[in-house]
Amino acid sequence: MPERQERDLDALFEEVIRDHGPRLQAIARGIVGRRFAPEDVVQQAVSNLYEHRHRYDWSQPLPLVRRAVVNEALRLLRRPAMGSLDQFDMGAEAPPDANLVQNETVEQVRKAIDQLPNHFRAALVLCEYEGLSYPEIARELGITIQQTKTWIFRGRRQLEQKLADFVKSGNSVEEQR
């Protein structure tokens, strides 16, 4: 690759990361939950992508980087379980962004989301947080549009069920008091 093109690509790469870094980290956090540090997920994804940057078409850089982050997050989750950060009592020392989750109901929703199958969670993050259309999500995850709809729909229904169980168990505790 000519040196000038190489420099342009490097500049583009840095621009995408600068412009969308926090968003990429939020996507990573949404998918890996507290099992892995999201900043490490993004760093690894970005590093891998940079290493093979010449293989890709950079006409749409954000989807490319986002896909790398999603794939890296899902790749990590496919590895044998090493214990989630929750298990190490990260409650008090949790990353600062976790401190925003104060409301108990929201915390229950977060826990319920964490229990979803990884691919359902990835589809939901891309749909609700990123606001991507079904065809865009299908492209990101390398699946069909029908599969995308199914994953999102089932993910939401499973969440409903988990939260209904939470409400029921909460009520029963209240009744026992």
Partner 1 sequence: MVNEQDIELLDMYLDGELDDAAQAAVLRRLASEPAMSQAFAELEAQRALRMQVWKACEPIVDNSERWIAAIQAKRQRQGWLISILDYRQQIAAAAACIAVFIMGWNWGANSGAYRMIPGAIRGTQPARFITQQPIQGQKPAIEVRVTDASGNLIDRKLFKTLEEAQRYTEEIKLQLQASPAR
For partner 1, the binding residues (CB under 8 A) are 10, 13-14, 17-18, 21-23, 25-27, 29-30, 38-39, 42-43, 46-47, 50-51, 95-98, 100-101, 103, 105-106, 109-110, 113, 124-125, 127-129, 133-134, 149, 152-153, 156-157, 159-160, 163
**CB burial readout 113-138, b (16+ within 10 A) else e:** beebebbbbbbbbbbeebebebebbb
Q: Of 110 and 119, which CB lies nearer to partner 1 in the complex structure?
A: 110
Q: How far is the CB of 36 from partner 1 (least distance, A)?
A: 13
Q: Of 43 and 57, which CB lies nearer to partner 1 in the complex structure?
A: 43
Q: How far is the CB of 68 from partner 1 (least distance, A)?
A: 12
Identify the DSSP state of 14: H
Would you list the DSSP string of 83-135? Answer: --GGGGT-TTT--GGGGG--SHHHHHHHHHHHTS-HHHHHHHIIIIIS---HH
Q: Of 36 and 134, which CB lies nearer to partner 1 in the complex structure?
A: 134
